Amino acid sequence: MRTGGGLDAVAALDVTAVSHSYGQKRALNEVTFSIEPASFTVLLGLNGAGKTTLFSLISHLYDTRHGSIRIFGHDIRRAPGEALRRLGIVFQARTLDLDLSVYQNLSYHASLHGIGSTEARRRIDAVLETVEMSSRLHDKARSLSGGQMRRVEIARALLHRPPLLLLDEATVGLDVQSRAAILADIRRLVETEGISAFWATHLIDEVDESDHVVVLAEGNLVANAGAADVIRATGTKTIGEAFAKLSRKAAAPEGFA
């Protein structure tokens, strides 16, 4: 499943001057950043910071009216088909059909991508092995734990072999052990399969100091650098302290010290 084919010549994701509003409320304000191919990048922000809005724009659930978004060079507004073919998505809300088996859920998704039944079965076997869920192939989704459901959703997102994977609060509602296992799985996929992962979270313990972080606060981009660099720039000792300081500053910019 390793990606390639010259995709590393351009950014995996390029977001330029993107703004979005809900009526009079500005959810994103001139957000600009890019992420590299074969990389793990954390989108860090409190609830309401604009993470889900940004993901909705990247995945073309919302139309990009201000600014541009490119996935491996393909503009999401001008060439949505080409852009979305390179994108796999794991949404925050559970999206499996609980009355279907794991195989049926994945087979249906494969058909939406035009993957024939023989090839679909081969890919389903491969992605389930990748996320260590092969033994649950014929089990109904409702019989799975929360962490197992999430693993199946990750497998489904990988079926069409996208070089970029978006994960919106992928560990929400899971216990500590399951959260750590899912995060480790994604980091391993980046390392072994060469995909790019864009991991949205508000949980500081999911950020490693070696990660690149994109920090949103009040709809504004307030940091875009390695976690260790963000710590140094804010004069703090941990990424948690840095994140808290940046979030406070965005919420009350005037008179902040």
pLDDT tens sequence across 194-249? 999 999 999 999 999 889 999 999 999 999 999 999 999 999 999 999 999 999 88
Predicted confidence (pLDDT) per residue in 92-108, tens digit? 888 999 999 999 999 99
Q: Are 127 and 159 in contact (CB under 8 A)?
A: yes
Query: What's the rounded mean pLDDT across residues 140-156?
Result: 95
Whole-number pLDDT of residue 4: 42
Whole-number pLDDT of residue 1: 45
Predicted confidence (pLDDT) per residue in 18-37, tens digit? 999 999 999 999 999 999 99
Whole-number pLDDT of residue 224: 97
Please state the domain extents for the chain: 7-86+163-251, 95-161
Looking at domain 7-86+163-251, its CATH superfamily turns out to be: P-loop containing nucleotide triphosphate hydrolases (3.40.50.300)
% residues pLDDT > 70 (the chain): 94
Angle between helical axes of 146-158 and 176-193 (0-180°, round to 10): 20
Whole-number pLDDT of residue 252: 64
In the predicted structure, residue 7 carries a pLDDT above the cut 60: no
Predicted confidence (pLDDT) per residue in 36-93, tens digit? 999 999 999 998 899 999 999 999 999 988 999 999 999 999 999 999 999 999 998 8
Task: Determine the Cα–Cα distance for residues 146 and 142; give it in Å rounded to an integer.
Answer: 9
In DSSP terms, 18 is beta-bridged to 31
Whole-number pLDDT of residue 38: 94
Residues 6+ apart with CB under 8 A from 138: 101, 102, 103
What torsion do the CA atoms of 4, 7, 13, 14 make, to the nearest 10 degrees? 170
In the predicted structure, residue 142 carries a pLDDT above the cut 90: yes
Whole-number pLDDT of residue 228: 95
